[in-house]
Structure 1
Amino acid sequence: MRWIVAGLIALALAGCAANVVTDYNHAAVFGHYATWAFAEDAGEGTFVSLDGSRVQRAVERELNRKAMRQVPADEADLLVNWQIVEEERLEQTGVGLGFGFGSGHFGWGVAAPPPVREVHEGKLVVELVDTDTRQVVWRAASRRYLRESQSPETRSKLIDEVVSEMFSKYPPGLD
């Protein structure tokens, strides 16, 4: 019974974990920002260019919801810079095998670890840069990842969800 309760608590806590982490400059007056444009180098270095258009559409949609107007870069209050940061990690697949023998308080064992494979993922990072000071005033990073194996529909849905969650925390201090 304890295991069931512990499992339910773990699931509940996992469901409460934020999928997005944000940071911002406390000195910035976010009420003064009304216009925006994509930075000239926004999205450079992303590993899949098709995702770039998905990110841009999602950012445009969210900033329009905030009643911010897109203008040419030389007229903007904020520049939007974003990138998909490629990360590699090792993932265990399957189970390890082992055997052992012995008696009493003494024994021997041999085990083989589970197979490991390298996984390439992309983490979305969006930054808003004040055009006057040329400093980042707001930053959001996703804890959910794009994977090479995801379908275009899954990638698009994930990007929409992540960008929506990012901008639900903009401007800061309203949540």
Structure 2
Amino acid sequence: MRVILVSLLMLALAGCASNVVTDYDSGTVFGNYASWAFAPKGEGENFTSLDGGRIESAVERELNRKSMRKVEQNEADLLVAWQIVEEERLERTGVGLGFGFGSGNFGWGLSSAPPIREIEEGKLVVELVDTDTDRVVWRAASRRYLNENQSSESRRKLIDEVVADMFEKYPPGV
């Protein structure tokens, strides 16, 4: 009985695990920040991708909820930098096993695993940079991934959920 109770407790705790990991500079007074802007694009980046537009809209919505003002880059207290970090994962389905009966005979079969396939996924990382010190003061990384098989609507929904989870933990300690 104890084993069952412990197992159920562990399962419940695993279900409560966060989909976002955050880190911050503990010496920073986050109450001093009132304005923000997006960090300039990297060299060679002249456009915003579809996912980039979704991310920027979600970040803007969440910072507005925190009563922070979006201003020009040279007037901002914080710069928001984001990136989608690409990761590759190997996926294999498994081995099939079957049993059967027919006209007095017994038979069985075993199939080998199909080829392993690579899946490219991307996790979202958002950083807030203090414009006076040019140092990252807060960082959030998603444990949920975007992949190439998701529809536009599911990508938008996932990005909205992940960014909301991220900024739920900003400012830290609140």
Q: TM-score, normalised by structure 1?
A: 0.81
Return the alpha-carbon distance in structure 1 between the equivalents of residues 4 and 50 of structure 2: 43
Any stretches of 5+ residues in structure 1 without a counterpart? 99-110
Alpha-carbon RMSD: 2.6
| Distance in 1 (alpha carbons) for counterparts of 2:117 and 2:3 | 30
CA 1:77–1:50: 2 relative to 1, 3 Å? same
Identity of aligned residues (%): 68
CA deviation profile, 1:94-141 (whole Å, cap 9, x unmatched): x2268xxxxxxxxxxxx9555311000000000000000000000000
Aligned length: 159
Task: State the distance in 2 between where 1:9 and 1:38 align.
Answer: 42
Counterpart in the other structure of 1:41: 41
Match of 2:126, SS state, is: strand
How far 1:41 moved relative to its partner? 2.0
**Residues 133-148 of structure 1 aligned to structure 2 (within 5 Å):** 133-148=133-148
The one-letter code sitting in structure 2 at the alignment partner of 1:96 is V
- In structure 2, the residue matched to 1:27 is 27
What residue is the counterpart of 1:96 in the other structure?
Answer: 95
Q: After the TM superposition, which residues 1-175 of structure 1 pair with which residues of structure 2 at under 5 Å, given as runs?
A: 8-9=8-9, 11-41=11-41, 49-93=49-93, 95-96=94-95, 112-113=112-113, 115-174=115-174
- Output one character per residue of 1:23-82: Cα deviation in whole Å (capped at 9) or x when no partner: 00011110000000000027x88xx92100000000000000000000000000000000
Asked if the contact 1:78–1:130 (Cα under 8 Å) also holds between the matched residues in 2, the reply is yes
Structure 1 segments (4+ residues) deviating >6 Å: 1-7
Deviation at 1:13, TM superposition (A): 3.1
Other structure's SS at 2:145 match = strand
Question: Which amino acid in structure 2 is aligned with residue 122 of structure 1?
Answer: G
Mapped contact 1:97–1:114 kept (Cα < 8 A) = no
In the alignment, structure 2 segments of 5+ residues that lack a partner are: 98-110
Farther-moved stretch of structure 1 (2-11 vs 156-165): 2-11
